[in-house]
Amino acid sequence: MFRCVAVRPVCPMNSLESAVRGAVVRIGPSGDGYDGRSARFWGSGFFVAPGWVLTCAHVVGKGAGAVLRGESGIGVTVSSGESLTAELVRCLPRPARPDAPPAPWPAPDLALLRVPESEDADCLWLSDRTALTPAEVGVYGWTNAPGGGQEYLGSTGRAFGGRHGPVVLRGVLLVPGCSGAPVVDLERGAAIGVCKGSGSGGFGQATPVTALRALCDEGGGGDRLFHEVLRAHDAHHHRRVASPHFSWPRLHRELDQRALAFTGRPRARLYDLFARLPPPGGAGQVLEAVNEVRRHVLRPPHTPEAHPPRGWREGAGLLYGGPLELEAAVLYAAKVHAVLTRHGGAERRVLAELRDWIEDSRFSLPNDVIRNETVPSVLTDTGTPEAAADRADVLVEIGPDLYGNHHWRIAHVLPDGRLTPIHQDDVGVPRARLRQAIRGALAAAVDAGDVDEHLAAVEFVLPRSLFDEPVDEWRLCDPDPQDPFNPRALPIGRRRIVVLRDGQRHTQGVTPEWRARWKGVREGPLEAVPLHAELPVPGHDAPWRESPHAGYARLHAAPAGAVPVSCARGGADPGAPALAAALSAGHAVALWRRYDVEGHTDCADFHKRVADLLEEAGTADNLPGHVRVLRSRNADHGTNDQEAVWARHMVLLYDPPHRPPLPGGPLQVPPSAPPTPTA
């Protein structure tokens, strides 16, 4: 039974709503006589590819431990009424305790089910970009009927947001059971979200379908799973458009009447070709190609979203809009062809088919310059990856403690030094939660900055109280025992260059001493000087301690290439006052360890080895790479390799004065009094 509850009339069912109906499923327990009429009904879901159903994690979480551990199947009832058995392949995020599922389930709250007996299922078209909102949308799912069993409901309304958070639904009637239902853009005929249910104030929430890209950061083969599902999705829709039966791409052409819209058969063919190519190395490679095309068609560069693109098709999705939409799609395909030709790894036959698609499409372009000059030049591009302009490093700025919370923001550092803001948290979190709070945005930022052979470095601009925070040991995703060397799960300091910068003096302005010190360490040679005069000899037990003022005078007079070194902490006493004196004296590079003052007697050895390290590096530009290698060598805490273990917990301050001011000014200047609590 189909019943419409709508802001505007949608009954009787049109072709779009009828097609959605064929892909939406009911989800409940497997076996136990579940036939769709049972009261044991968990929620809705929908086919995204033959054999694959997408729903909410909290829907399948109702099956608790046995389902979440993969020990019990899941019942999936398709539109014909047939009940099939599915297996849970992945929840996003995975529950830490399957026997006690989280409530509410953390974002993105998605689950992928494999349904082996549904290879001929109807499948919805997945949006190739984060929601193009505001948009008219429909939500289609199942709910318990008053007389028993379930009934199918469709409701329409408006959708907002989705680029940097959830999709917000307004005017849509959301009933129990709609969790996991598709949110469909009625103008473009694409599933843009997965309904999570009702929210506060009469609004609903949905997860953007692009959040499925988080699989690529999960480890344990999540990236392969993501591309496997998309490959099956695009192959399915290309087969359908080539058949005489209903297909979503043909419906797109009916819905979208723009003369130059990139829809229908050409898009289905291109996306099928993209799916057969080796996937991009990361979001950065896709964004580089996208932004080169946007420059050609005189549009501003695209900045990373909360869910940056992880497949070639999603790059094309970022080129919608404007009078040169079709030109942009053809140019983008040419850029992908050039990248894969340059780097290899793609089957020659597929590349030849992609080139044929580009050449066939090129001659239909109305813009003479793009048709006859730009596309051919991109196709024959022999440039080297080193010439790319869109590679970037990542800056993470964390503010000082403001009544128990630290605010933070993330930006890309472009090759010319400009900063592009990506994410900002104006609420803040306690120090203990910084790692978890920042992880998702940091993972997206470094992925978008990795282009070809360029691996984004990470600069942490910190308050001095956080100088001993082990940021180089942070991970972008949880480690997987089955895949211990997954690059995304390694501590970032083992794989990438990770350095600290001083947040305090950036708010005070650049001094002549700072510029002079930076010039000295860049020209070299580097020379180790003790941060504390009493170290390394006679050591922490010395009967005297150098005062900060005496330390300032000594460090101010140090040689041009001097690098202050300490075998103890820099963010707490006694290291903090000495380090403050060194920074005031202009030093732009310093090394210390996150060790407590008590409990180690190897200071003399540490200082000698750091002196050797600095001599080997020669200049400041070479030092971060040497430190990264040392961090990787001593990462195994079970090792006793004396050539590496001395560098464990080593911190590198690398703080050039020429970086531009951080966007938006200082992070939260503390008010004169604590904020008054509100009810």
Confidence of residue 66 (pLDDT cuts 50, 70, 90): confident
Please state, in angstroms and rounded to a whole number, the distance separating the CA atoms of residues 12 and 334. 43
- pLDDT of 527 reads 95
Please state, in angstroms and rounded to a whole number, the distance separating the CA atoms of residues 447 and 309. 10
In the predicted model, is pLDDT for residue 400 greater than 80? yes
* Contact predicate 205/196, CB 8 Å: yes
Identity of the residue numbered 192? I
Residue-range definition of the domain harbouring residue 595: 393-654
Please state, in angstroms and rounded to a whole number, the distance separating the CA atoms of residues 679 and 674. 16
Plot region of 322 (φ>0 → left; ψ -120 to 50 → alpha; else → beta):
left
- pLDDT of 484 reads 76
Confidence of residue 665 (pLDDT cuts 50, 70, 90): low
Q: Are residues 373 and 421 in the same domain?
A: no
In the predicted model, is pLDDT for residue 284 greater than 60? yes
Q: Which of 38-47, 566-575, 659-668 has the lowest mean pLDDT?
A: 659-668
3-state secondary structure labels for all residues of 479-501:
CCCCCCCCHHHCCHHHHCCEEEE
* Contact predicate 562/615, CB 8 Å: no
Strand order, beta sheet including 419-429? 419-429, 406-413, 393-398, 458-462, 498-502, 650-654, 589-593, 562-565, 527-530
Cβ-count burial 152-170 (b if 16+ within 10 Å, e if not): bbbbbbebebbbeebbbbe
Q: Let me know if 327 is exposed, middle or buried by CB neighbors in 10 A (0-12, 13-18, 19+).
A: buried
Asked whether the CA dihedral 396, 400, 404, 407 is positive or negative, the reply is negative
Residue written as tokens 């942490």? 460
- pLDDT of 285 reads 87
**Average pLDDT, integer, range 586-600:** 82
In the predicted model, is pLDDT for residue 283 greater than 80? yes
Does 673 fall in a domain? no
In the predicted model, is pLDDT for residue 123 greater than 70? yes
First to last CA, the chain: 46
In the predicted model, is pLDDT for residue 677 greater than 80? no
Confidence of residue 52 (pLDDT cuts 50, 70, 90): very high
In the predicted model, is pLDDT for residue 9 greater than 50? no
**Average pLDDT, integer, range 46-55:** 96
Q: How many other CB atoms sit within 10 Å of the CB of residue 632? A: 15
Q: Are residues 64 and 83 in the same domain?
A: yes
Q: Which of 2-11, 508-517, 625-634 has the lowest mean pLDDT?
A: 2-11
* Contact predicate 305/164, CB 8 Å: yes
**Average pLDDT, integer, range 130-159:** 87
Q: Which two tokens stand for residue 137?
A: 């949308």
124: Cβ–Cβ under 8 A, 6 or more apart, which residues? 19, 20, 23, 46, 47, 48, 182, 184, 190, 191, 248
Mean pLDDT of the chain: 84
> 3-state SS of the chain: helix, strand, coil percent to 5?
35, 20, 45
The 10s digit of each residue's pLDDT in 335-365 is 999 888 887 767 888 989 999 999 988 888 8
In the predicted model, is pLDDT for residue 587 greater than 90? yes
Q: Are residues 294 and 190 in the same domain?
A: no
Distances (CA, A) of 481 to 101, 220, 490: 21, 8, 12
Q: Are residues 366 and 422 in the same domain?
A: no
373: Cβ–Cβ under 8 A, 6 or more apart, which residues? none
Confidence of residue 3 (pLDDT cuts 50, 70, 90): very low
Q: Are residues 509 and 461 in the same domain?
A: yes
The CATH code of the domain that includes 19 is: 2.40.10.120
Distances (CA, A) of 496 to 388, 413, 624: 19, 15, 9
Higher pLDDT, 12 or 47: 47
Identity of the residue numbered 42? W
Q: Which two tokens stand for residue 571?
A: 């963010």
Does 247 fall in a domain? no
Q: Let me know if 285 is exposed, middle or buried by CB neighbors in 10 A (0-12, 13-18, 19+).
A: buried
Q: Which of 387, 402, 418 is the last residue of a domain?
A: 387
Confidence of residue 368 (pLDDT cuts 50, 70, 90): confident
589 phi and psi angles, rounded to 5 deg: -135, 135
405 phi and psi angles, rounded to 5 deg: -125, 150
Q: Are residues 171 and 29 in the same domain?
A: yes
Residue written as tokens 């282009």? 451
Enter the pTM of the model: 0.74
- pLDDT of 38 reads 45
**Average pLDDT, integer, range 641-649:** 78
Q: Which two tokens stand for residue 487?
A: 């690059």
Does 664 fall in a domain? no
Q: Which of 365, 387, 409 is the last residue of a domain?
A: 387
- CA-nearest of 110, 133, 38 to 77 is 38
Please state, in angstroms and rounded to a whole number, the distance separating the CA atoms of residues 67 and 64. 6
* Contact predicate 262/316, CB 8 Å: yes
Higher pLDDT, 483 or 530: 530
- pLDDT of 597 reads 54
Q: Are residues 369 and 501 in the same domain?
A: no
Q: Which of 40-44, 293-297, 626-630 has the lowest mean pLDDT?
A: 293-297
Does 242 fall in a domain? no
- pLDDT of 258 reads 63
In the predicted model, is pLDDT for residue 633 greater than 90? no
Please state, in angstroms and rounded to a whole number, the distance separating the CA atoms of residues 253 and 264. 5
Q: How many other CB atoms sit within 10 Å of the CB of residue 672? A: 4
* Contact predicate 565/630, CB 8 Å: no
Q: Are residues 100 and 142 in the same domain?
A: yes
Does 363 fall in a domain? yes
DSSP state of 451: B
**Average pLDDT, integer, range 602-621:** 93
Please state, in angstroms and rounded to a whole number, the distance separating the CA atoms of residues 192 and 521. 52
The 10s digit of each residue's pLDDT in 519-559 is 999 999 999 999 988 888 776 777 778 888 999 999 999 99
Does 272 fall in a domain? yes
* Contact predicate 226/216, CB 8 Å: yes
Does 422 fall in a domain? yes
Does 188 fall in a domain? yes
- pLDDT of 671 reads 39
Confidence of residue 254 (pLDDT cuts 50, 70, 90): confident
| Radius of gyration (C-alpha) of the chain in whole angstroms | 28
Q: Are residues 47 and 21 in the same domain?
A: yes
* Contact predicate 425/199, CB 8 Å: no
Q: Which two tokens stand for residue 363?
A: 């001659």
Please state, in angstroms and rounded to a whole number, the distance separating the CA atoms of residues 205 and 217. 24
Above pLDDT 70, what percent of the chain? 89
Confidence of residue 232 (pLDDT cuts 50, 70, 90): very high
Q: Are residues 351 and 443 in the same domain?
A: no
What is the domain count for the chain?
A: 3
Please state, in angstroms and rounded to a whole number, the distance separating the CA atoms of residues 310 and 317. 12
Q: Are residues 149 and 24 in the same domain?
A: yes
* Contact predicate 462/654, CB 8 Å: no
The 10s digit of each residue's pLDDT in 420-462 is 888 888 888 999 999 989 988 898 888 888 887 889 999 999 9
In the predicted model, is pLDDT for residue 65 greater than 90? no
Q: Are residues 518 and 555 in the same domain?
A: yes
Above pLDDT 90, what percent of the chain? 43
At residue 493's C-alpha, the angle toward residues 492 and 495, to 5°, is 70
In the predicted model, is pLDDT for residue 167 greater than 50? yes
Q: Which of 329, 357, 387 is the last residue of a domain?
A: 387
Please state, in angstroms and rounded to a whole number, the distance separating the CA atoms of residues 180 and 169. 14
- pLDDT of 308 reads 81
